[in-house]
Amino acid sequence: MIAKPMLKVAASWLAIAAFTACANTATMDGGASAQGATTPEAAQAYVEAAEAELAERSQYEARIAWVYNTYINFDTEWLLQRSDAEATEARVRLASGAGRFANTELPADIRRKIDLLRLSLVLPAPQTEGAAAQLSEITTRLASRYSTGRIDYQGRQVALDELETLMGTERNAARLEEIWTEWHQVAAPMRDDYTRMVEIANQGARDLGFDNVGQMWLSNYDMPAADMEREVERLWGQLQPFYEQLHCHVRTRLSATYGEAIQPRDGPIRADLLGNMWAQDWSTLMPIMRPRGARATYDTTSLLTRANYDAVRMTRTAEGFYTSLGLAPLPETFWERSMLTRPRDRDVVCHASAWDLDSREDLRVKQCIQINAEHFQTIHHELGHNYYQRAYMDQPYLYQNGAHDGFHEAIGDFIALNITPEYLVEIGLLRRGQIPPASADTSLLMEQALNKIAFLPFALTMDQWRWQVFDGRITPDRYNAAWWELRERYQGITPPNTRTEEHFDPGAKYHIANNVPYLRYFLSYVLQFQFYEAACQQAGWEGPLHRCTVYGNREVGERFNQMMEMGASRPWPDALEAFTGTRQMDGGAMARYFQPLMAYLEEQNEGQDCGWD
């Protein structure tokens, strides 16, 4: 996850995103607003003044957010609320001022910057006195409730990062239900705050000329909101058959493991049995999903443990992938200032994120790294954000961002796809004689599918729910019911026990509690396979796509960096074309990657009643 000033479109959450305090309006308008001028010259002056203000203030706001994230207490919450309120007021002012030029014919560069200013807010506040402060107070309270959440489990207080590990290793259904239920109870008190937040932010969106916040979010992809929503459904249509076959096979194995009384052989899957608190990543089920008769390949977690990896070594290894492509090492300040493990003496936000605090070289990662395969992939992913941030740092301030927010997430995931057996040999974690034979490819693909394919409908559900909350199709009296209706429709899962409107299960997920738009992750899962396939073609890879690694290929690295250097200066199809040669997001690369597994799943599911209606 990226953490950036809010004006930059890939910003991850409201508190981190705060970036500027109120400034003198006459100065901000470059002298133009007093006359109400809407000429191209006035627009250019407005943009120049906006960029100067934002560049000057962003570092201050980012450092407050960093201190809060790494040291949560009453005082840091107070600081964050204040900076958040100032930031929101300033951003609403900037966006409203940019709206004056919505119908002015402008040069392409100025038009793009004006539109970025208009569309950059995550949660806008109305321009009424006190609205920004109230919104900031609510969003900070939601974020803190999530990040400081603990549950009582087996006689001790347990935090979420440990609970996530337990969900992946525990196989007792009763204990899984207990962990799942207790964590979701942490979110129940969020409902009233969330309801009020929606009211305030929707009014702010209307003041800026949008119907609601959801429409604002969807308008941020160089196309009309309705077209983007259709584009998402098109991409899901390409990949839905893969998910349905995976769901069918996983359900069969879970039923065999737990018995039909706990998991029937038809219908939805019980959410807490899938090895992840939110049923978004099923890869911890690999021990029961390994194809029958297939020998075990290797366990990356065991390899890391036996090699005595710690958090710093995992991070150094991930950095080594990027430098092998010809990119520069991270600055020494990265190692001095990053938070790579959970401190023992205070509450922090453990959710992994990458930071650029000064739009230059103050790059950092905040992650409570555990020595396992998932976190090994995660740190490769997070450094992708940092290298992207560094690549576009010479762009004008408003262009210091990803081509769209999905690009920022896809960069690191593309690199993580290269964590293949060949890469593990290159870095000394695996001996060449331990590389699994071709007969083990189904196992390798199964593990990837339990992560990548399983995630897609979850990602859709997250923002489908919020789009419908923001536009009024889902009302507060149906928040929880609608959440589970959508999760059953897209994911085919069901909760382990009865859920009512006394619960607020959406808030048990970080990105809901912290107001991070989630469509970026769905798009990133499509894009990362496009990047990966294109890179492997550039490298001249001739074997199965899923075994490719471009580790050490500087030609790929040069072209990769050229795309990253563009930042948000061009519409995203231009950036996509620069690296892949195509201008359309396409699930075809992901489908080709998993095609050998699809044939296996269809064979295994023959005669099964797949689906869950």
Contacts with 92 (C-beta within 8 Å, 6 or more apart), sequence order: 121, 124, 125, 126, 127, 132, 204, 207, 208
- How crowded is the C-beta side of 284, counted as CA atoms within 13 Å? 21
- The helix (run of H) or strand (run of E) holding residue 94 is helix 74-99
Task: For residue 294, give the DSSP letter.
Answer: P
**DSSP structure string for 427-492:** TTSS-GGGSPPGGGHHHHHHHHHHHHHHHHHHHHHHHHHHHHHHTTSS-GGGHHHHHHHHHHHHH-
- The helix (run of H) or strand (run of E) holding residue 314 is helix 311-324
DSSP 3-state of 263: coil
Distance of CA 236 to the CA centre of its chain: 17
Residues in the chain: 613
457: left (phi over 0), alpha (psi -120 to 50) or beta: alpha
Detail the DSSP E strand segments found in 335-416. Answer: 353-356, 363-366
* C-alpha separations of 341 from 132, 283, 314, 367, 371 in Å: 34, 23, 12, 6, 11
Closest alpha carbon to 118 in 92, 93, 95: 95
Query: Is 382 designated active site?
Result: yes
3-state secondary structure 157-197: EEEHHHHHHHHHHCCCHHHHHHHHHHHHHCCHHHHHHHHHH
Query: Is 375 designated active site?
Result: no
Q: Which of 382, 409, 426, 447 is catalytic?
A: 382
Helices first, then strands: H and E counts in the chain? 25, 7
The identity of residue 389, as a single letter, is Q
Burial class of residue 291 in the structure, from the number of CB atoms within 10 Å of its CB (0-12 exposed, 13-18 middle, 19+ buried): middle
Q: Which residue has the tokens 């839905």?
A: 240
Contacts with 335 (C-beta within 8 Å, 6 or more apart), sequence order: 312
d(CA 588, CA 594): 10
Q: Is the dihedral of CA 106, 108, 110, 113 positive or negative?
A: positive
- The helix (run of H) or strand (run of E) holding residue 201 is helix 191-207
Catalytic residue positions, numbered: 382, 511
